A and B are shown apart, each in its own frame.
Chain A
Amino acid sequence: MSPDERPRIGVYVCDCGFNILGTVDVPAVVEYSKTLEGVAVAREYRYMCSDPGQDLIKKDVKEMGLNRLVVAACSPWLHERTFRKTAADAGLNPFLFHMVNIREGVSWVTADKAAATEKAKVLVRAGVRRVALQEPLEPRREPVNPDVLVLGGGIAGIHAALTLANAGKRVTLVEREPSIGGNMARFDKTFPTLDCASCILTPKMTAVKDHPNITLYTYSEVVQVDGFVGNFEVTIERKPRYVREDLCIGCLKCIDECVYRDLRFPNAFDLGLGKRKPIYVPFPQAVPLKPVIDPHDCLYLKLGKCKLTCVEACEVDAIDFAMKPERVTVQVGAIIVATGFQPFDARRKPQYGYGVLPNVVTALEAERLLSPTGPTEGVPKLKDGTLPKTVGIIHCVGSRDENTNAYCSKVCCMYSLKLAHLVKERTGAEVYNFYIDMRTPGKGYEEFYKKLLEEGAKLVRGRVAEVTNAALSKGETGKLIIRVEDTLAGQVRRIPVDMVVLSVGMEPQADAREVRRRLNLSCGSEGFFTELHPKLAPVSTATDGVFIAGACQGPKDIPESVAQAGAAAAEALALVDRGTVEVQPYVAVVDEDLCSGCRICLGLCPYDAIEFEAEKKVARITEVKCKGCGVCVVGCPSTAIDQRHFRTSYLLEEVAGVLA
């Protein structure tokens, strides 16, 4: 369109079924739109985003010679791209279109129909006035780095990394712990098939280690993320292992020869239940199978004095006490966040006695007690070394609870049943499950529940009031007594048991907030990362090029985490395989005639995108670096800077339209 051509605007108001039509008098908005200056046509349609809806717009553009479009429908977050494409298909510049939000912004949030209709009219009016000023823009294209970073080496991260690596992409996998494997590596069996967790996980862990396309950084954390979709620069900090990974051959002789003969330091992998030496591998199947030295436990690192038998034992001189934290920078086109969850801290429910009463353990601890490589070699024992005769499993600890987490952690019913099965199998103990509702949706899950019932698992419906050791009768002496209202029997019961397992829920990682900030994600009120759309973009985020998978997005079990990881890998692949990515052209531009060369804008730009051109004495913006926030526009005292698509004139016109 030439600049002197008068605007011929088409206004398209969407009913969105009854979503908009139910609260907004759409025909009235259409009639009103027709009275606005520059509007050539205004139409209503049931679903504007549907093919017939879009065709309607395209037909009008062609037949009526429209040169501007306004679509009043849902949020631009949902369909701005859709209609930009419609405009482009019709031969119109996609930026000669403006979207007016009358669903999320009007019909869904307004109770009164007259008020909603009025608000919709006002917003359409403002949109029409804004679009009349809009100028065509060319979308920017940037090259995409084909490599991908996966953050977190649990089952989700592992699966995502392998999927991408198998597709021929170079993947950097970063894991905070000394080994990959995550929480799944802690489990003995998985529900509902009772597959051995190690047997299905270990091959995948080894595949990561052996894959030529995967660079694995364990004991490392991402400390900084710069750049944008297709072009991220990620800084990784590698904590010192004090054992050189490049030299170590994994013979583990150093561990045998450590001056500490016995295992005396709590092993974090076993949640402190098992013990290790200062130099250790967290578990036998660890990947990489290279020891770590804990500087808090090692005599030499603590005191500077030791016989250094480990150094002597090492045939390849891999032990290096001079190691320092190291920083590595990688360039990637996409990032998959799979940072997982942390179990609910059972101390926050003091009535259950965790940390105070002996033989009260969390479900994750129970997993370790049931693991053949765990501290009790797979047979859960009481603190005194004897086998429990009765065990109580308490569901919903830190879930479905207004005082802690209101949400359901989804996996606890199933893993509690699994634990009940395993405890009975290993110890012969009588096992009680205390539940609020039994939630077992999933393939084969209900069948598993039935199987447990047939096995004679005892189920008591009711939220447990307390776990105590205050015995009221001889039969209760020396036992843990579970007080519960059995809501099916309609009575309060006291059930003495030897061991209590608390089925703790899933919570966001303690440092999820920092990760969120580093990657510009958002979190829901519980603190899990938020997906772009709960149904249609479940692994995408508001930050282009960053995807989420697994329990960092919300509680989920292994099959779901793996499915999501596959989806995230596919989305990342679709992005990095394209070669180029379209970036919003909302950059700032300098009018050199107006620029006084004061350089105020240089300090305002958070991306160092503005340079001072000494020869002309003006500011110059590097478009590639500019992210389009518009901070410099406001800061310019000469009004020499403006922002494309968010020009001062457009925004003032929109304000004027609102208040007209």
Chain B
Amino acid sequence: MQATVQEQRFEPRIVAFFCNWCTYAAADLAGISRMKYAPNVKVVRVMCSGRVDPAFVLEAFRSGADGVLIGGCHPGDCHYKEGNYKAMRRFLLLSRVLEDFGIERGRFRLEWISASEAEKLRAAVNRMVEDVRKLGPLRWKVG
């Protein structure tokens, strides 16, 4: 391949699962507030972070994602009482499994972001993108 004058910057592909009530609403608020953040994160809306199946995360990595971000309501604030605790349990377990697979911690994150925390959302997305950029491409894609 021909070398370009400037090395092309690696743009990580990140899939986010945001719960409808808190983090998705925070993302809406970030939009309404015209906050700018990295376009690398693509959001899949779920009703609750407790709906995020570890299989979704594995499938995302398998299909070429460099990172996966889950956003839910703060502990105690879940719209469905305790779905976020279930999400946390699954997250912790899956993180360990992923580490064993050689997928670095920074590639898989869980953030509690309430509907009013647009700034937190912006910061979390940007931080994740920068961290994953440093880690480089995952290249876990099968086939």
Contacts and interface: CB of A to CB of B under 8 A. Distances in A.
Contact of B51 (A118, A522, A607, A631): A631
Contact of A109 (B36, B42, B47, B80): B36
A522 B29 CA distance: 12
Contacts of B22: 522
A123 B86 contact: no
A126 B64 CA distance: 14
A32 B22 CA distance: 32
A522 B50 CA distance: 19
A486 interface: no
A76 B45 CA distance: 10
Contact of B80 (A105, A524, A606, A634): A606
A115 B65 CA distance: 18
A654 B44 contact: yes
A630 B48 contact: yes
A530 B25 CA distance: 11
Contact of B13 (A106, A110, A604, A659): A659
Nearest to B81: A606
A128 B45 CA distance: 15
B105 interface: no
Contacts, number: 142
Contacts of B45: 76
A629 B39 contact: no
B30 A109 contact: yes
A627 B51 CA distance: 12
Given A631-B83, A652-B56, A646 B39 contact: no
A329 interface: no
B135 interface: no
- Chain B interface category by residue count: 35 or more
B107 to A, nearest CB: 14
A603 B90 CA distance: 16
A281 to B, nearest CB: 38
Interface string B16-60: 000001101101101110111101001111111011111110011
A445 interface: no
Contacts of B65: 655, 659
Given A104-B27, A126-B42, A659-B15, A646 B83 contact: no
A104 B18 CA distance: 14
Most buried by A among B35, B36, B51: B51
A113 to B, nearest CB: 11
B36 A110 contact: yes
B85 to A, nearest CB: 9
Given A75-B31, A630-B48, A635 B36 contact: no
Interface string B62-99: 01110000000000110111110010001000000000
A570 interface: no
Contacts of A627: 80
A423 B73 CA distance: 49
Interface in A30-82: 75-77
Given A108-B32, A109-B30, A648-B53, 17 more contacts: A77-B24, A105-B28, A105-B31, A111-B36, A115-B39, A122-B42, A126-B44, A606-B82, A629-B48, A630-B51, A631-B86, A633-B51, A635-B86, A643-B51, A646-B46, A658-B15, A659-B63
11 contacts: A105-B27, A105-B43, A106-B39, A517-B76, A520-B21, A604-B86, A606-B82, A630-B46, A631-B80, A631-B86, A655-B59
